[in-house]
Amino acid sequence: MILDLSTIVNIDGKKLDFDGQLDFSGIDEQGVSFVSPVSVCGRISNIGGSLELAATAKMQLRFECDRCLDSVDEEFECSFEEVLKKEDERVEGAENPDVLYFKGNSIELDEIILNNIIVSIPLKHLCKTDCRGLCPNCGKNLNLGECDCDTRPADPRFDILDKLFE
């Protein structure tokens, strides 16, 4: 998504609304993938000569459960803001790390939006809060039923007996 900023870039107080859909379907980021196109809507405002971007992105994400490794699809929404400045205002060696620079009068938003989505995605995902995970012994998904393994913690009294017979 490329936005033409020429109508706002030199005029303090001007605003530009935008919306659209982005396709990130090929991206797989730490077990998270995009099931639907990302719907984005936002506004870029010229505030005292610098451009401030505010946007909201909505999408359907597919997570892998941390405990049972099942796939779960979830609605995800995040909002973010960025400050944009013209490339010619960049001072070599004194760049502001919070500012994104653009060349000419247009800006490519895909990467900015994708980066903001990735940092907002929670690191831990469970298919449900009481997910029972996989049996550490046989690997069965315990949400689907018990397995035949004896996974009770060993009784510490037997450890003492074990030591006596060592």
Instruction: List residues binding Zn ion (CB under 5 A).
Output: 65, 67-68, 127, 131, 135, 137-138, 147, 149
CA distances to 9, 13, 47, 95, 147 from 90, rounded to whole Å, are 15, 22, 18, 6, 62
Q: Residue 117 Cβ, how far from Zn ion at the closest point, in Å?
A: 23
Residue 9 CB coordination number (10 Å): 20
Distance of CA 24 to the CA centre of its chain: 12
Q: Which is nearer to Zn ion, 24 or 63 (CB)?
A: 63
Compute the least distance from the CB of residue 122 to Zn ion, in Å. 15
Pick 13 or 122: Cβ nearer Zn ion? 122
Nearer to Zn ion, 87 or 150 (CB): 150
Q: How far apart are CA 23 and CA 76, in angstroms?
A: 15
Shortest distance in whole angstroms from residue 15 CB to Zn ion:
44
